[in-house]
Amino acid sequence: MTLPENLKYTKDHEWILVEGTTGTVGITDHAQGELGDVVFVELPAPGKTVKKGESFGTIEAVKAVSDLYAPVGGQILEANSDLSASPELVNKDPYGKGWMVKVRIADPAELKALMDAAAYKASIGK
């Protein structure tokens, strides 16, 4: 799977799609591949405020449980309720239907610290 060029990436394998002051956040194809079959995703309720780098939920796979880290700080606007019934969407479509949360970005300057697709590819040795 090719990395979408319109996303920003973290060293913890999260991605963010920025649309105005809203960021849609998920995990990368590399991360879901390392985790294996996703069986459960725990996400925060809308209204929760998160700080950049803070855990905002967990993702559970057959072989591991991992924290999900916020690429930017802000308020959670929406959590992907489809993942409750169908956590495998993270495996099938990590950059589409497998998104995790939408966040209102508190400080757009935090985006500058994130990687573009080329830098992320280099960080995972691809």
Percent helix, percent strand, percent coil in the chain, to nearest 5: 20, 35, 40
Domain count, the chain: 1
Closest C-alpha among 12, 40, 38, 39 to residue 25: 12
* 57 has pLDDT over 80: yes
Q: With respect to residue 123, please indicate whether it lies within any of the assigned structural domains.
A: no
Mean pLDDT of 51-71: 96
Query: What pLDDT, in 10s, does the model give residues 84-101?
Result: 999 999 999 999 999 999
Beta bridge partners of 101: 25, 79
Q: Where residue 1 falls among pLDDT bands split at 50, 70, 90?
A: low
Task: Determine, yes or no, domain membership for 55.
Answer: yes
What percent of the chain lies above the pLDDT cut of 90? 94
Give me the pLDDT at residue 104, please.
98
The answer to whether residue 26 sits within a structural domain is: yes
CATH code for position 42: 2.40.50.100
Taking residues 1-21, report their average pLDDT: 94
